[in-house]
Each structure stands twice: as structure tokens, then as C-alpha cells.
Structure 1
Amino acid sequence: MLGLSFIRENPDAVRKAAVDKNVPLDLDALLALDGETRALKTRIDTLRAERNAISDGFRTAANEDKPALGAKAKAIGAEIGTAEAELDEKQAAFDALLLRVPNIPWQGAPVGPDENFNTVVRQEGTIPSFDFEPLDHVALIEKNDWADLARITPVAGSRTYCLKGRLALLEQALMLWAQKRLTADGFTLMTVPAIAKPHAFVATGHFPGHEDEAYHIQEDELYLAGTGEIALTSLHSGEIIEADRLPILYAGYSPCFRREVGSAGRDVRGLLRVHQFFKLEQYVICRDDPEESAAFHQRLLHNAEAMLQALEIPYQVIEASTGDMGNGKFRMNDIESWVPSLGKYRETHSCSTLHDWQARRANLRWRDEDRKVRFVHTLNNTALATPRLLVPLLENHQTADGRVKLPEPLRELMDGDYL
């Protein structure tokens, strides 16, 4: 969320951000509630001071005055109770509205309500030209008996998968390879749980607004997370991080779960859009310096691109529009990998800078050299997610005989040149 002082002083900028991000926000109602809650707090403080003054003078008051003083103190107490009840109601309404306030997007973001306004920054790699009829990833899997996609559906439902043999090993090898690359770049590898409490989803900005996308474990009031970012953001919640501990670089690995609400009928076949997957997330906590967080944004993006380049997968970098980047993002770049069977690029990575919008929700702070406590900046990026990345990997490296030639970095891990 944004700081209250910023919202009060820059209402036009907040209104524009809401319009550009296609966020329904009644800013006038928020500002009115802000004024009302502040007035109620002042009134309650004044009444308490008045009651305390009566209490302080009660012992020395004349006996004939004490009944009136007692009655007055009681009346003030009742008035305080009424005001506190009103404050609780208005504060709850205010807090709910405040959580809906979007971040101010960076000036270079394309303005538009959805992904149709995204722009291509650049394209990298060479799209393969096959001298044979290429297969899609499902046909390759079936030809080589690398999964039990049909058998698992009666067990776990649609949008699930069951890899086997060499392909199951490749999924693990990919993750190990990516984890070693990030740890060599100074990231601390973290294995984080796939379950989290509702407040952790609020801290990242996933709640309110996207509850229907998460699986809910009602008995324990827990949700299954769709990204390691949810656990990592709240890991230091409530702490004040000393300056010499920043930046904090995490490589969070976890199973992830998404209900894929709103994607009915899309990508049901194969591995592109599944309910359960594994993801290695780059996550950064740094000083609230726009230049520093911009440098980390480029570093995270570079790491993801370098992996695709090493895997010889053609891709394009996307500048996300204001309406596609989500409420909390200051800037977002997607990476889309080339999928030959579809004849187009499909998203495999996303890189986001949130400035202090997320930190304010999660109460993530640091103490600068002047001992001033400030909110940090946070960033996140998909380093590697499977099984989705297996789709372009298999299809781009297939051979005429239905095999898959592995890119060089994976050959030693897989004990051979072919899958």
C-alpha cells in the first residue's frame, strides 16, 4: 500500500494510477474516512483527558460535588464507548479501502487496461527451423513414455501431471542447475512451505482480490501459495533490519498451487497451465533507493535471461502495461519463451519491482545510518518454473527421430547428450 501522507498530498497521482491500472477505487471515500477516523481519535483523546482530569480531582472535591462528578465521568465513559465503536467501524472500512490503493507505476510503462497493451522490448535467440514435421510436447512425451498424463487425470483431476523416467529426472536436474547458478550469484537458497496464513497473502498484495485463485484449507485457515514470494515477504515481517544486513537476496524454492480461475478451456492439454508446479523465485529486500532497486530489477531479469540463453530457448522480453502489472507493481517485465507447436511466445518468467508498497503491508523496515527507520523495497522474479519451462525446452530441441537433444549445461547432470 502507499503511505497515507503521500495519498493525502498526491490525490491526483493516486487517482491516475487507479485509472491506468484499471482498479476500481473510491478515493474520495477513502479520504473522507481518513478525516473521520482522525477526528474520532482526537475526540476520544480529548474525552479521555477530560475523564482523567475528573478522576484526578475527585478525591479533593467537596463531598457535595462528588455525585455530579461521578455522573459526569460515567457519561463521558459512555460517550467514549460510543465513539470507539464508531471508530472501529470506520477504521475497518478505511483499512479495507487502503489495501485496494494501487502503487504508482513507473513512467515508462505502457498505459492500458490489460495485456493487450503490453509491448515487446526485445527478442533474443534464433527460432528453430525444422526440416521435419515437429511434434508438440505432449506428442514427444507420449512417444518416449516420459509421463502418465492420461492415467493421472482420474486420480487428481484435470490440469495435473505425472512425469516419469528421464523427464522426471530432467525436471529435478533443471532445478538443481538453476539453484547452483543463483547461489553462485550471491543468493541464499531457501526451501519455503507451500502453505501460509491469510495475512501473508495480504502482505504480498495477493489478498484482497485474488482469493478465488488460491486453494483454501478451511479447517486450519491456511491457503496454498502460488509462489515462494508469499512466505519470503513475511519472513522478516515486524523486524527492523540493520543497514549492514542489506541487501537480502533469497532464492526461494517451493511447490506452488494455483486454481487457474478464469482459464477454463485454455491450455488444458499438456504442461503449460497446471494446478501444481515447482518454482525457484528470486527475491530481494533492499534499501528504499529507486536507483538501487532499479539495478536489482535488471540483475534479476538478467539472471532469468541468462538461463534461457544457456538453455538455447528463444524468448522475448515484455514491458507490462499498467493494467496488466497488478496493483502493487511499480514495474513488471515478463519473459515469454518460444513454443514451436503454438507458433508464438508464451510467458515463462515475470520480474517485478514493488518499491515500498509491499513492505508497508508486511511491515518490512530497515534502519539507515542516521538511525532512521524506513520501509524497504522488495523485488521478485521467476528464476525457473517447471513443468512449464519443459514445454519450450522439449519442443525447441527435438530431433527428427522424436528425441530431444539436451543443451550443453544439462548434459553432465543427465549423463548424456539426449533426454
Structure 2
Amino acid sequence: MLDIKVIRENVQWAKDKLASRGVQAAEIDEVIALDEKRRALIVKTEELKKNRNAASEAIAVAKRNKEDATEQIAAMKNVGAEIKALDSELAEVKAKVDYILVRLPNFPDDSAPVGPDESFSREERKWSTPREFDFEPLAHWDIGEKLGILDFERAAKVSGSRFVYYKGAGARLERAVYNFMLDQHAKEGYEEMITPYLVNGESMFGTGQFPKFTEDVYTMTNEGEPMTLIPTAEVPLTNFYRDEILDGAQLPIYFTALSPAFRSEAGSAGRDTRGLIRMHQFNKVEMVKFTKPEESFNELEKMTADAENILKALNLPYHVITLATGDASFTSAKTYDIEVWLPAQNTYREISSCSDCTDFQARRAQIRYRDEDGHVNLVHTLNGSGLAVGRTVAAILENYQNEDGSVTIPEPLVPYMGGMTKIEAK
């Protein structure tokens, strides 16, 4: 959530920044007008309360002196009624301010390219050259079905579209991939977590999914309370410190977790209807960081490198792009997308998104730290995929496929596969 004080003191700057995220200037004008009204009501209410306190003292003195205080008592009752009415109006105005504020996206960082969509994003670097095949490479879903390690048809029978069964060596490959990722992140200082897969509304609000993106998630009721299946482990990991004040000496804090991610994929009809790219349920290894404000952008570079190192170890070609302001997530000030090469599609596809959310989530979730001078400040939060597991499996199947239909196992995964070096049709 944005700080109304920052908007109030930098109105045109805020308008310009948020215009690059698709926010109309009229929304800023409205929240500024409401904020001015709120502050005027606070001043008026405080003045009336001051007068009421003075009148109470005068009444007490009159009573001690056995003087008639009827008029003062009547006047105080009128002031009390006026204060009650103003408090009610103040609560209403504050609710309107909060309604707008919680729906405004984060301010983009100056280093993010300005533009309304992905066509304005900027490529930062490429790693490795895509393999040249001397045969027509197959799509990963065809490879998986021919090898008998992926079954989309039976998953559709059991659950519907955008689900899959991993079988045999396919299931083991998925497990090998995420265990390898977790081990690599542990070496970089991330503390491994196993999180809840259901979270409450406060947690979804804290990381910015609610109230704006309620249609993108799956909800249920637990003992009468609404719960949400996590769209990413970012939600339970970030909310771990919700409503807490950390010791600044602890920062930065790194977490990593494997979890399923549940996405309704609202609005994605017709996109990636086949394969592992856009699923309703998929595994993802998540990275989350809590940092001091002055360290967060350096930590974003490190986090992105941690995700890249997984792809380098697996020898999967990729490139890194900085997302344009209009394409970045609601909570992000700056986002790097890492896109892996998929030969069958002859293009790069997103496999990780690493974002610095600055203090946007921390303000919503009230995650703070106490510095060496005793001052309490909001932390900065970062999150990134390290990586999306199914998409990594898809990239391995396509980039390591052989003409005979088999798939070579990347060398770092061989120990995790029990020594298996190749997946072949039974």
C-alpha cells in the first residue's frame, strides 16, 4: 500500500509515476481531496474535544462551588453530539481513502522502462546459445506423452483442463528438479520452510492479492472462516513476520520454500491450453527476502542471480528482461523476468519473476524493524521464483530431447535421479 503522505507531498510526481501503471490522474485528485477533508475533520474534532475537556473542568469547578452549571452541561452535551457526528463522518471519509489506497499499485522505480505493456520491456542479458537440432524438436507435452511420463488426458478426466499426472521417471524428474533447487538456495543462505497451503484474508491482503485479485484464486471455508489456496509461497513466507517488529541486526533474512501454487488463470482462455506452462496447480520453489530499504535493490540483483544460477547449472539458455512499468505486478517497484528457451516454440518463455516490492507489502502487513538508533521502520520485501518447477521440466524435456525420443538428464540432476542418465520409452 502506498503512503498517503508521499502522495500528498509529491502530487504531480505521484500522478506521473502511477500514470505509467495505468492509473488515472482523477484517482489521485480524489484521494488527495478526501485526505484533505479527513485532516480537516481531525483538526475540527480535536478542537471540539479540547473544548469539551475544558467545559468538563469548568462544570466540576462550578459543582464544587455549588454554582448552577445547567447551561455548561447542556452545551457540553451538544458538543458531544457534534463530536460523535464528526467521528462518524471521519470514519466514512477514512474508509474512502483506504478503499482507493489499497487498490493503487506500487510506484515504479526510476530504472524500470516506462510503457503500458511487455513490448516496452528491456532485455538486459542473454546466457548461452540455443541448441541447433538436426531433427524437428517436439513440444514437451508430446515428448512426455510419448515417453509415458506425463498424462494430461486422464488428469482432464479427473480434474479438468490445465492439470497433469506426472508418472514414473516424470514424477522423479519433477522431484529431482525441486530438490536440486532447494539445495542450491540453501547454499546461498536461504532458510528452507514448509508453509501452510491455505491462508486467511489478512495474509492475502498483506502481500497485495486482495482485494484487487480475488477472481484469480481458489477459496474455501474452514470452520466458517474464508480461506484461500495459496497462489504462491510468497504469501505465507512474507506474512511470516506480519504485525511484527524485527531486530535490524537480523536483516537481511532469506526464506525459500517448495509449495504447490493454485491459480484460477482467469482471463487466460485460449492461452497455453496444452502443456505445463499455464496450469491451475503447479509446484514452485519460491525465494523471499526481508531487507533494510538501502539494501533492497542490491538484494534484488542477488536474488535474480540465484534464479539464473539454477538455469546455468542445468545448461538451459535464457535471457533476463526488466519489465515495463505497465507490465510489472501490482506490488512491484521493479521486476526482472527470466525467460527460458523452448525449442518447440522457438521462443523464450517466463520461468522466473524476481521483484522488489520496496515497503509496499510491509505497510499493508505491518512488517517493521528497529534500527540501531531505536527507530522503527518498514522493511523492504522481495520475492522471486527459484524456479517454476513445471516450466523447468518442460525446458529440460525440450532442450535435452534426442532424435530417438529419449531425453538426457542434465548432469546435476543425475544424483537426484538415482543415477539415471536418460529417460527412454518403456
Calculate the TM-score normalised by the size of structure 2: 0.94
- How far apart are residue 114 of structure 1 and its match? 1.2
* Deviation at residue 112 of structure 1 after TM alignment: 0.7
The one-letter amino acid of 2:420's match is G
Paired residue secondary structure (1:86): helix
Between the aligned partners of 1:201 and 1:16, the Cα distance in structure 2 is 28
- Residue 13 of structure 1 contacts residue 104 of structure 1 at CA under 8 Å; is this kept in 2? no
Residue 54 in 1 paired to residue 51 in 2? no
Q: Who is 1:18 aligned against?
A: 18
Counterpart of 2:28, as a letter, is L
Select the residue among 88, 101, 105 that pairs with 2:104: 101
**Deviations 1:186-226 (CA, angstroms, capped at 9, x unpaired):** 11001112221222222212223211111122553112221
> Residue 67 of structure 1 aligns with which residue?
70
Count of residue correspondences: 417
Note the alpha carbon deviations across 1:285-316, whole angstroms, 9 max, x for none: 01111xx2122111111111111011111111
- Corresponding letter in the other structure for 1:351: C
Q: Partner amino acid for 2:320?
A: V
Identical positions, percent: 39
Structure 2 unaligned regions, length at least 5? none
User: How far did 1:70 drift?
Assistant: 2.2
Output the CA distance in 1 between the equivalents of 2:37 and 2:338. Answer: 45
Q: Do the aligned residues in 2 keep the contact of 1:334 with 1:349 (CA within 8 Å)?
A: yes
1:280 counterpart (266, 280, 285): 285
Residue 36 of structure 1 and its aligned partner are, at CA, apart by: 1.0
- Tell me how far 1:64 sits from its aligned partner: 6.2
Q: For 1:357, which of 329, 352, 360 is the aligned residue? A: 360
**1:35 corresponds to:** 36
SS of the residue corresponding to residue 221 of structure 1 reads: strand
Task: Report whether the alignment pairs 1:84 with 2:81.
Answer: no
For residues 32 and 197 of structure 1, the distance between their equivalents in structure 2, rounded to whole angstroms, comes to 33
Distance 1:61 1:16 in 2: 59
Distance 1:281 1:398 in 2: 27
Q: Is the 8 A contact 2:182 2:257 kept in 1?
A: no
Q: Provide Cα deviations, 1:120-171, integer angstroms capped at 9, x if missing partner.
A: 2222122111112222111111111112210111211111111111111111
TM-aligned CA deviation for residue 42 of structure 1? 1.9
Query: Are 1:241 and 2:221 an aligned pair?
Result: no
Answer yes or no: is 1:316 the counterpart of 2:319: yes
Q: Distance in 1 between matches of 2:46 and 2:119?
A: 52
Corresponding position of 2:258:
253
Distance 1:155 1:360 in 2: 42
Return the alpha-carbon distance in structure 2 between the equivalents of residues 108 and 233 of structure 1: 25
Q: Distance in 2 between matches of 1:133 and 1:28?
A: 57
CA distance in 1 between partners of 2:37 and 2:257 (Å): 42
Instruction: Please tell me the residue identity of whatever aligns with 2:422.
Output: Y
Q: Is 1:153 the counterpart of 2:156 in the alignment?
A: yes
CA 1:250–1:232: 2 relative to 1, 3 Å: same
Q: Does the 8 Å contact 1:115/1:324 carry over to 2?
A: yes
Aligned position for 2:372: 369
Q: CA deviation at 1:67?
A: 2.4
What per-residue deviation string (whole Å, max 9, x for no partner) do you get for residues 80-121 of structure 1? 111111111100000111223333322222111111211222
1:264 and 1:105 mapped to 2: Cα distance?
29
1:370 match: secondary structure = coil
**Which piece of structure 1 moves more, 57-66 or 400-409?**
57-66
Aligned match of 1:336: 339
Return the match for 1:129 from 128, 132, 157: 132
Task: Judge conservation of contact 2:141–2:150 (CA < 8 Å) in 1.
Answer: no
3-state SS of 1:106 partner: coil
Deviation at 1:346, TM superposition (A): 0.6
The answer on 1:221 being equivalent to 2:226 is yes
8 A Cα contact 1:288 1:374, kept in partner: no
The farther-off stretch of 50-59 and 324-333 is 50-59
Work out the CA distance in 1 between the residues paired with 2:106 and 2:270: 32
- Counterpart amino acid of residue 17 in structure 2: A
- Please give the per-residue CA displacement for 1:363-404, whole angstroms capped at 9, x wherever unaligned: 111111111111111111110122122111101000111111
State the TM-score, normalized to the length of structure 1: 0.96
Query: 1:241·1:367 contact (CA, 8 Å) conserved in 2?
Result: yes
Is 2:401 the counterpart of 1:417? no
Q: Once superposed, what is the RMSD of the aligned Cα atoms?
A: 1.5
Alignment partner for residue 388 of structure 1, among 365, 387, 391? 391
Q: Which ranges in structure 1 are unaligned for 5 or more consecutive residues?
A: none
Give 1:28's aligned amino acid. Answer: D
Aligned residue type for 2:16: K
Partner of 1:138, secondary structure, is helix
Residue 119 (structure 2) aligned to one of 116, 120, 127: 116
